[in-house]
Amino acid sequence: MRVLIVEDDPILLDSLTRAMRAAGYATDQAGDGELALGLLRGGGFDLAILDLGLPRVDGLQVLSRARAAGCRAPVIILTARDGIDDRVRGLDLGADDYLAKPFSLSELEARVRALLRRGQGGAPVLTCGTLSYDTVGRRASVGADMLELSQRELSVLEALLFRQGKVVSKEQLIESLCGYGEEVSANAIEVYVHRLRRKLEPAGVGIRTLRGLGYLMDRM
């Protein structure tokens, strides 16, 4: 899962980035509204955290222009404590949730998880075959057995499981694994998928390769 973090306060940007990475998300950062808008228009994000008070282009403008350009990623806006008008305008312009500053990182993380799983019906545990995946603890198990997965395998599993039954392109997998500046090759993706496929087989879960299109996770 790939998260864009837009915040002009470098200290807050840094702590948000650390928290998101520690929670297992690939992250990209923008310190001003213009950069944020360019990144959001480029697509490829599963979620954005958007501060409203930004240099160059303010956050509400970023939001409305990104939505007008077809950006559908869930957006959490960060507002001032007394920014009720901003919250209302932000929600009306297409934000999915908001947090008033100062907020706790654990609350932000919980809201991020809630928005990301909304596409899967909102349950905190996702299932496929006899595989179950706890989105809070980031643990995969088959029956009573916990699956041992590397961080990268876990990221691939999440990307496929959150879009289960749909084709996920190799580019989407690469994007969900790395922030800009970090490299994951297409060959490496094939290796992670191969390993994951072997581990998921006992759960009756298959990862099909659709040549030229990508991968699809489904019950076998």
Residues forming beta bridges with residue 128, ordered by sequence position: 131
Residues touching Ca ion, count (CB under 5 A): 3
For Ca ion, the closer of residues 55 and 165 by Cβ is 55
Encoding tokens for residue 100? 């008033």
* 86 forms part of the interface with Ca ion (CB under 5 A): no
Q: Which residue among 31, 49, 50, 51 contacts Ca ion (CB under 5 A)?
A: 51
Please state the closest distance from residue 190 (CB atom) to Ca ion, in A. 41
Q: Is the distance from CB of 52 to CB of 77 less than 8 angstroms?
A: yes
Q: Which residue among 53, 129, 202, 206 contacts Ca ion (CB under 5 A)?
A: 53
Alpha-carbon span 77 to 176, nearest angstrom: 21
Positions in 156-215 near Ca ion (CB under 5 A):
none
Q: Which residue type is seen at 158? A: E
For Ca ion, the closer of residues 51 and 97 by Cβ is 51
Q: Is the distance from CB of 218 to CB of 128 less than 8 angstroms?
A: yes
- Asked if the bond preceding 74 is cis, omega within 30° of 0, the reply is no
Candidates 6-14, 31-39, 127-135, 183-191; binding stretch for Ca ion (CB under 5 A): 6-14
Using a 10 angstrom Cβ sphere, with 0-12 exposed, 13-18 middle and 19 or more buried, the burial of residue 144 is exposed
* 61 forms part of the interface with Ca ion (CB under 5 A): no
* 8 forms part of the interface with Ca ion (CB under 5 A): yes
* Separation of first and last alpha carbons in the chain: 24
Candidates 17-25, 46-54, 176-184, 198-206; binding stretch for Ca ion (CB under 5 A): 46-54
- State which residue has the least CB distance to Ca ion: 53
Provide the binding-site residues for Ca ion, judged by CB under 5 A. 8, 51, 53
